Amino acid sequence: MMDWLLALGVVAVVIPTLYLYTVSVVATRFPTLQNKRICLLIAHPDDEAMFFAPTVLALARPETGNHVKILCLSSGDADGLGETRKRELAKSGLTLGLRKADDVFVVEKPEFPDSMTATWDATAISSLLCAAFAPQLSRSRDSGTAPMASIDVLITFDAGGVSGHPNHISLYHGAKAFVAALVAGKAGWAPPVDLYTLATVPLVRKYAGFLDVGATLVSWAIGTQMKDKKHPGGLVFLTGLAGQGSIRTAWKAMTTAHKSQMVWFRYGWIILSRYMYVNNLKLEKIKGR
């Protein structure tokens, strides 16, 4: 019995210590983004904290020189709490490191309903993003000049939407359509906006907490191209276990900002979900044609 207790004690010390070492290595030696204008595109208030907290915490640090903004395409008004959830989103954004509340934007349009069954039109999403970030697009097409945008990086869900939510998946298709529109008719041109998408992982890994870091780093090493240091093919962000900018900050973004959403099962999510500890993002390859 004592041997088992001793073994468990060693594991309880060694595993967190290894994780903390990995956090420091990833933060100092892995590719990241600096001095970029970044937009996080989400579907609902609380997506930024439940799924993208490691990314926002890492990229919004003042020393990176990045300017991170959040664009949310619904107020999450399915239960009539739209105004409350908009305020909660702004508070969460500030907790995660955004410069000011005005860096959070919420769109409310009937074509983007908060619904577990509604698929949002990719063309409508693309048009909204073009109007917001590339209003001169039609002029640049006609003049033959290089495409331009008011952001450098767009981050959103991948084709799996993490949870399979149709609103999340719609953002992926809309974001790809937007970036493709920037270089439409410009064969061979690279888009002025890099699109990074958050990897969806199998169910077992989704609830592995920080223990998923090993599988994440292996998949990153195998599947990521690093030929272009200015545009890394993949990014990994980890949250620490203590202090400012750690998992405690990510938890705070949910428990103190998104109070209206903290039903019992979300406590399980913020403790067990790997997305509170680990984010790996893939650069989507889109070229003009």
Q: What is the pLDDT of residues 35-57, one digit of tens each?
A: 999 999 999 999 999 999 999 99
For residue 5, name the pLDDT band (cuts at 50, 70, 90): low
Provide the greatest CA pair distance for the chain.
78
Q: What is the pLDDT of residue 269?
A: 96
**Contact call for residues 22 and 68 (beta carbons, < 8 A):** no
**Contact call for residues 174 and 112 (beta carbons, < 8 A):** no
Q: How far apart are CA 227 and CA 118, in angstroms?
A: 39
Q: What is the pLDDT of residue 76?
A: 83
Global pTM exceeds 0.75: yes
Tell me, what amino acid is at 189? W
Tell me, what amino acid is at 200? T
Q: How far apart are CA 258 and CA 230, in angstroms?
A: 35
Tell me, what amino acid is at 203? L
Q: What is the pLDDT of residue 8?
A: 56
- Lowest mean pLDDT segment, chosen from 51-55, 73-77, 135-139, 266-270: 135-139
Q: Mark 129-146 as b/e (b = at least 16 C-beta within 10 Å).
A: bbebbbeebeebbeeeee
- Lowest mean pLDDT segment, chosen from 51-55, 136-140, 179-183, 245-249: 136-140
Is residue 16 over pLDDT 90? no
Burial of 17 (0-12, 13-18, 19+ CB in 10 A): exposed
Q: How far apart are CA 57 and CA 52, in angstroms?
A: 9
Q: What is the mean pLDDT of the chain?
A: 90
Q: What is the pLDDT of residue 79?
A: 78
Q: How far apart are CA 58 and CA 236, in angstroms?
A: 10
Is residue 121 over pLDDT 80? yes
Radius of gyration of the CA atoms of the chain, in A: 19
Please give the share of the chain, as a percent, with pLDDT higher than 90: 71
Q: pLDDT digit string (tens) for 207-220?
A: 999 999 999 999 98
Average pLDDT for 132-161 = 84
Average pLDDT for 90-96 = 97
Greater pLDDT, 22 or 166: 166
Is residue 275 over pLDDT 80? yes
For residue 45, give the DSSP letter.
T
For residue 137, name the pLDDT band (cuts at 50, 70, 90): confident
Average pLDDT for 251-275 = 95
Q: Residues 6 or more apart from 133 whose CB is under 8 A from it?
A: 39, 149, 150, 151, 178, 193
